[in-house]
């Protein structure tokens, strides 16, 4: 069982890297709002720049949320952060509870939903 889990963890590495990268983009866009808005407010033509920064930020936010929503779990094949219409950027898959760092962690002794571990 442990050997099988380790093999699966190695197979999950590319997909989990992709999920982590998309999560990083999302948090970067969210955190970029405040400094970008502060720079825009310092501008002499601040009304225009605040509008430009806000619209640009919204476009980036929609794009990065969509990328994070569409990331597929390597274990169960479902959307990692989406359950129905709900987007929840938790660190575990919302369907099979695979951790986003499962490839870096020790194999789980008793995965929450072992029924997914052999699904291809």
Distance CA 117, CA 96 (A): 9
Q: Does 96 bind Zn ion (CB under 5 A)?
A: yes
Out of 73, 79, 100, 102, the residue judged to bind Zn ion by CB under 5 A: 73
**Cα atoms in the 13 Å half-sphere on the side-chain side of 65:** 11
Q: Does 16 bind Zn ion (CB under 5 A)?
A: no
- The answer to whether residues 120 and 12 touch, using CB atoms and an 8 Å cutoff, is no
- The answer to whether residues 100 and 20 touch, using CB atoms and an 8 Å cutoff, is yes
* Token pair of 79 as six digits: 């959307």
Q: Does 71 bind Zn ion (CB under 5 A)?
A: no
Instruction: Detail the DSSP E strand segments found in the chain.
Output: 82-83, 86-87
In the complex with Zn ion, the residue whose CB is nearer, 26 or 73, is 73
Instruction: Give least dist CB 77 to Zn ion, A.
Output: 7
* Site stretch for Zn ion (CB under 5 A), options 11-19, 24-32, 41-49, 74-82: 74-82
Q: Does 76 bind Zn ion (CB under 5 A)?
A: yes
* Token pair of 91 as six digits: 């660190």
* Site stretch for Zn ion (CB under 5 A), options 11-19, 31-39, 43-51, 87-95: 87-95
Distance CA 96, CA 115 (A): 9
In the complex with Zn ion, the residue whose CB is nearer, 75 or 81, is 75
What is the contact surface with Zn ion in residues (CB under 5 A)?
Answer: 73, 75-76, 93, 95-96, 98
């Amino acid at each position: 069982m442990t050997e099988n889990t380790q093999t699966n963890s190695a197979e999950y590495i590319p997909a989990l890297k992709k999920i982590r990268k998309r999560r990083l983009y999302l948090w970067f866009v969210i955190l970029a709002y405040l400094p970008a808005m502060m720079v825009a407010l310092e501008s002499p033509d601040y009304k225009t720049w605040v509008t430009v920064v806000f619209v640009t930020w919204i476009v980036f936010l929609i794009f990065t949320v969509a990328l994070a929503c569409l990331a597929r779990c390597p274990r169960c094949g479902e959307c990692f952060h989406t359950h129905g219409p709900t987007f929840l950027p938790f660190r575990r898959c919302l369907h099979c509870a695979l951790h986003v760092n499962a490839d870096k962690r020790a194999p789980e002794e008793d995965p929450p939903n072992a029924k997914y571990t052999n699904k291809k």
